[in-house]
Amino acid sequence: MSKNRDLFNKHLLHPWGNLPELGEDESISVIVKGEGAYIYDEEGNKLLDGPAGMWCMQTGYGRKEIADAIAKQVMELGYATSFTVTNPVEAELAQRIASQTPGDLNRIFFTTGGSTAVDSALRLCQLANNIKGQPQRKHILTREKAYHGSTFLGASVTGKERDKSAMDVYQDYVHFLSVPCQYHHPDFDSEADFCDFLIQELEDKIAELGPENVMCMIAEPVLGSGGVVVPPADYNRRCCETVQKHGIYYIADEVVTAFGRLGHWFASEKVFNTSPDIITFAKGITSGYVPLGGYAVSDKFMEAISGDNAKGRIYSNGYTWSGAPVPCAAALASWDIIENEKILDNVHEVGPYFQEQLRTLKDIPLVGDVRGIGMMAAVEMTLQGHTGSREDLLAKDYAIGAMVDDYCHQFGLLVRPFINVCIMSPPLILTKAQVDDLVLAMRKALELTLNDLREQGIW
């Protein structure tokens, strides 16, 4: 075993680590280098980075501009605390973000990543209702299969079954609505009918809880790690308007969809015609090079809880690295690259090609659904040919994504397996030729997986 694998097995616990195999994973990839849209493992294998790290390497690997900006900032001002002072880099970054957010979302709060952004946004809503004399507004609406983070609050509003059951969460005030995925609701004739059902479900839930008791709805415009679920047309806008009409805040969690993934700095307004009260962001803001997250909140929201309305109150929430200059400098450098290299235009050009080419995989019987938008997509496998108990089917289902991923490695592609889904969110610099490589590797991997299933008598 390589030295790195040995050390991994002896000392590391990874996020979502597989506990029965703790200390015994002899095949984990050791990634040592990145360049453009590719990463390299220690055996020298070159892999197209299908998930762009973790939805975050917008401008790709090996960006000297970002390295230089970080180095310059370290020498000029390595740290400053936003608890008591400000610095020119956080100020400029906040101004740039405000210039791209919808409506009057002009006030920016910086955090250390997506989970802390979600946590901070939810805590801001709690504070706002307490200040406004509505402390009973505690209920939070979210969706099945949503992912909003790993802090206690972020995990509490996360709807992924396996994650919810593992550790204690804040249960009493959190309510899960249906995942807006039509593939999983074939009983509806049309997308419009399905959308009506979802909005009615939302209205019913608000009525059941009492509108005056509901604090907010939090929603990813496109569910990301829950399997890249693109909701029916108009769903996001209708959810937002439905809750706001009852004085309930709408938080769009754009940790994945912001900073170009759907071809815009933010997707809420430009793609989904939605005007949230708060937008959370992270990941792609620095192109993944250093951690940074935050939220943008509307002036209207803040007016109600500042000035004379907020006597004696403070927003007691923040992090040592909130607005720290080094990550903000990395974010400005990544922003400049996106602008200078017209990377949003690339997403508009290559994104539709990526979606169209991936959909050609639907002719493989193992493929149940291919879905996505912009530079995020998922291929969902189905065992519809398999006859077995539900438990048996589920167990097999759990392994398929990983089986496909293993074969993808052989063909120079990394994807992100999640149960029976392979998720892709490539760097935004992807070319059409790289899309062709990606789809070909996927096709070969899916066909070999299907062969294996046939040999095992499962298909």
Residues 293-332 that bind ligand PMP (CB under 6 A): 293
Interface with ligand PMP, residue 427, by CB under 6 A: no
Residues 174-203 that bind ligand PMP (CB under 6 A): none
Contact between residue 315 and residue 322 where contact means Cβ atoms under 8 Å apart: no
Q: How far is the CB of 334 from ligand PMP (least distance, A)?
A: 15
Interface with ligand PMP, residue 378, by CB under 6 A: no
Nearer CB in complex with ligand PMP: 286/449: 286
Interface with ligand PMP, residue 220, by CB under 6 A: yes
Coil vs helix vs strand at 268:
coil
Q: How far is the CB of 111 from ligand PMP (least distance, A)?
A: 9
Q: How far is the CB of 279 from ligand PMP (least distance, A)?
A: 11
**Contacting range for ligand PMP; rule: CB under 6 A; set: 22-30, 218-226, 368-376, 438-446:** 218-226
Nearer CB in complex with ligand PMP: 114/372: 114
Q: How far is the CB of 113 from ligand PMP (least distance, A)?
A: 3
Strand segments (E) across 397-451: 413-414, 416-418, 421-424
Closest residue to ligand PMP, based on beta-carbon distance: 114
Interface with ligand PMP, residue 290, by CB under 6 A: no
Interface with ligand PMP, residue 225, by CB under 6 A: yes
Contact between residue 149 and residue 160 where contact means Cβ atoms under 8 Å apart: no
DSSP of 99-145, one letter per residue?
Answer: HHSSTT--EEEEESSHHHHHHHHHHHHHHHHHHTT-TT--EEEEETT
Nearer CB in complex with ligand PMP: 102/149: 149
Residues 125-154 that bind ligand PMP (CB under 6 A): 147-149
Residues 62-121 that bind ligand PMP (CB under 6 A): 113-115, 118
Within 10 angstroms of residue 70's Cβ, the number of other Cβ atoms is 19
Q: How far is the CB of 63 from ligand PMP (least distance, A)?
A: 20
Among 256, 347, 376, 413, binds ligand PMP (CB under 6 A): 256
Nearer CB in complex with ligand PMP: 177/441: 177
Extract long-range pairs of 208-212: CB within 8 Å, 24+ residues apart. 209/139, 209/175, 211/246, 211/247, 211/248, 212/134, 212/136, 212/137, 212/247
- CA 127 vs. chain centroid, Å, equals 26
Nearer CB in complex with ligand PMP: 214/219: 219
Q: How far is the CB of 110 from ligand PMP (least distance, A)?
A: 13
- Give the integer Cα–Cα distance in Å for 376 and 229: 10
- Residue with tokens 């694998």, as numbered in its chain: 5
**Contacting range for ligand PMP; rule: CB under 6 A; set: 4-12, 26-34, 186-194, 253-261:** 253-261
Nearer CB in complex with ligand PMP: 118/122: 118
- Give the integer Cα–Cα distance in Å for 90 and 207: 42
User: Rounded to 5 degrees, what are φ and ψ at 413?
Assistant: -135, 140
Q: Show Cβ contacts of residue 452 under 8 Å, excluding neighbours closer than 6 positions.
A: 403
Coil vs helix vs strand at 379:
strand
Size of the site for ligand PMP (CB under 6 A): 15
Angle of helix 390-410 versus helix 432-455 axis, rounded to 10: 130
Contact between residue 36 and residue 427 where contact means Cβ atoms under 8 Å apart: yes
- Give contact residues for ligand PMP (rule: CB under 6 A): 113-115, 118, 147-149, 220, 224-225, 253, 255-256, 282, 293
